[in-house]
Amino acid sequence: MSKLTEIAKRANVSRTTVSRVLNNHPYVKPEKRDAVLKAIKELNYVPNLNARNLSKGKTNVIGVIVPKINHPFFSNLIEGIGNECNKYNYSLLVHQSNNDPEKELQFFDLLKYKMIDGLILGSCVSDTSVIDELSSYGKIVSCEYSESSKVPKVFVNHEYGIQMTVDYLKAQGHQKIGLCIGNPRSGVGISRKKAFFKLQREYSLKWIDYWYFEKQYTIEDGFEVAKKILEQPSRPTAMVVGSDQVAAGIIFETKKQGIMIPEELAIVGFDNQPISKGVELTTINQPIKEIGENAASLLYSIIHNQDVPSFTTLELQLIKRNSA
Amino acid sequence: MSKLTEIAKRANVSRTTVSRVLNNHPYVKPEKRDAVLKAIKELNYVPNLNARNLSKGKTNVIGVIVPKINHPFFSNLIEGIGNECNKYNYSLLVHQSNNDPEKELQFFDLLKYKMIDGLILGSCVSDTSVIDELSSYGKIVSCEYSESSKVPKVFVNHEYGIQMTVDYLKAQGHQKIGLCIGNPRSGVGISRKKAFFKLQREYSLKWIDYWYFEKQYTIEDGFEVAKKILEQPSRPTAMVVGSDQVAAGIIFETKKQGIMIPEELAIVGFDNQPISKGVELTTINQPIKEIGENAASLLYSIIHNQDVPSFTTLELQLIKRNSA
DNA sequence: ATGAAAGCGCTAACAA
DNA sequence: TTGTTAGCGCTTTCAT
Q: Model confidence over A187-200: pLDDT tens digits? A: 889 999 999 999 99
On the CB side of B289, CA atoms within 13 Å amount to: 11
Task: Give the containing element (helix H, strand E) for B61.
Answer: strand B61-66
The Cα of A223 is separated from the nearest Cα of chain B by a number of Å equal to 9
Cα dihedral sign for A68, A71, A73, A79? positive
**CATH homologous superfamily of domain B59-155+288-314?**
Response regulator (3.40.50.2300)
Please tell us whether the domain made up of A3-47 is placed in CATH 1.10.260.40. yes
- Determine the straight-line distance between the first and last CA of chain B, rounded to whole angstroms: 64
**Nearest partner of B253 among B235, B228, B234, B236, judged by Cα:** B228
Contact between A312 and A298 (Cβ < 8 Å)? yes
Say yes or no: Cβ of B13 under 7 A from any atom of strand C: yes
Q: What is the pLDDT of residue A32?
A: 85
The pLDDT assigned to B186 comes to 86
**Residue in chain A lying closest to B66 (CA):** A79
pLDDT digits (tens, 9 = 90+) for B125-143: 999 999 999 999 999 999 9
Q: What is the mean pLDDT of chain A?
A: 95
DSSP state of B313: E
- Identify from A4, A115, A276, A281 which residue to disrupt to test chain B contact, counting B C-beta atoms within 10 A and taking the largest count: A115
Q: How far is B204 from chain A (nearest CA, A)?
A: 35
3-state secondary structure of A298: helix
Q: How much is the average pLDDT of A297-317? A: 96
Low-confidence ranges of chain B (pLDDT < 70): 1
**What is the rounded distance in angstroms from the CA atom of residue A308 to the CA atom of residue B3?**
31
Chain B contacts of A51, Cβ < 8 Å? 54
Q: Which residue is nearest to nucleotide C9 (CA to C1')?
A: A51
Provide the pLDDT for residue B145: 87
Tell me A157's DSSP state.
-
Locate the chain A residue with the closest alpha carbon to B83: A96
Residue A57's pLDDT band, with cuts at 50, 70 and 90, is very high
d(CA A186, CA A204): 27
pLDDT at A317: 96
Q: What percent of chain A has pLDDT over 90?
A: 88
- Give the Cα separation of B274 and A265 in Å (integer): 23
In the structure, how far is the CA atom of residue A81 from the C1' atom of nucleotide D6, in angstroms? 39
Which of A2, A52, A65, A70 best probes binding to B when mutated, by most B CB atoms within 10 angstroms?
A: A70
Run of H or E including A309: none
Tell me the percentage of chain A whose pLDDT exceeds 70: 100
Distance CA B323, CA B198 (A): 24
Model confidence at A1: pLDDT above 70 = no
Q: Do A49 and B76 touch (CB under 8 A)?
A: no
Of B323, B307, B315, B295, the C-alpha closest to B88 is B295
Strands across the sheet with A212-213, in order? Answer: A212-213, A177-180, A238-241, A266-271, A282-285, A317-319
Band the pLDDT of A275: cuts 50, 70, 90.
very high
Torsion over CA: A92, A93, A94, A97 (sign) = negative
Domain with CATH 3.40.50.2300 in chain A: 59-155+288-314, 158-285
Which residues of chain A does CATH 1.10.260.40 include?
3-47
What's the confidence (pLDDT) of residue B1?
A: 67
Does any strand C atom come closer than 7 Å to the Cβ of B30? no
User: Is B107:B89 a contact under the CB 8 Å cutoff?
Assistant: no
Q: Are strands A317-319 and A282-285 parallel, antiparallel or unpaired?
A: antiparallel
Instruction: Inspect the interface and report whether the beta carbons of A219 and B278 lie closer than 8 Å.
Output: yes
* Residue A3 confidence (pLDDT): 86
Q: Which sign, positive or negative, has the C-alpha torsion A46, A52, A54, A58?
A: negative
CB-based contact A135:A148 (threshold 8 Å): yes
- Residue B54 CA distance to nucleotide C6 C1' (Å): 15
SS3 A312: strand
Class of domain A158-285: alpha beta
Q: In what order do the strands lie in the sheet with B282-285?
A: B212-213, B177-180, B238-241, B266-271, B282-285, B317-319
Comparing B228 with A5, the larger pLDDT belongs to B228
Average pLDDT rounded to a whole number, residues A120-139? 95
Question: Who among A79, A95, A96 is closest to B69 (CB)?
Answer: A79
Quick one: pLDDT at residue A31? Answer: 86
Taking the CA atoms of chain B, what radius of gyration do you get in angstroms?
Answer: 25
Angle between helices A72-88 and A288-303 (to 10 degrees): 40
Of residues A62, A47, A61, A39, the one with CA closest to residue B112: A47
pLDDT above 80 for A171: yes
Nucleotides of C under 7 A from a protein CB: 1-13
A276 or A3, which is more confident: A276
Nearest CB among A71, A82, A218 relative to B94 is that of A82
Chain-chain contact of B46 with A137 (C-beta, under 8 angstroms): yes
For residue range A227-274, list pLDDT tens digits in order: 999 999 999 999 999 999 999 999 999 999 999 999 999 999 999 999
Nearest residue, CB atoms, B114 vs list A49, A78, A93:
A49
CB B180, CB B225: distance < 8 Å? yes
**B278: nearest CB among A70, A75, A252:** A252
Q: Facing residues of A179 across strands? A: A212, A240
Pairing of strands A282-285, A266-271: parallel
The β-bridge partners of A61 are A91
Query: In chain A, what residues touch B279 (CB-CB under 8 Å)?
Result: 252, 278
Q: Where are the beta strands (DSSP E) in chain A?
A: 61-66, 91-96, 118-121, 139-142, 153-156, 177-180, 212-213, 238-241, 266-271, 282-285, 311-314, 317-319
Q: How far is CA B319 from the centre of its chain?
A: 22
Question: Given pLDDT bands bounded at 50, 70 and 90, which one contains residue A28?
Answer: confident
pLDDT of A2 strictly over 90: no
Q: Which residues of chain B does A54 touch, with a Cβ-Cβ cutoff of 8 Å? A: 48, 50-51, 53-54
Going by C-alpha positions, the residue among A281, A93, A258 that lies closest to residue B86 is A93
Tell me the three state secondary structure of residue A317: strand
Residues in chain B with CB shorter than 8 Å from the CB of A274 are 218-220, 245, 249
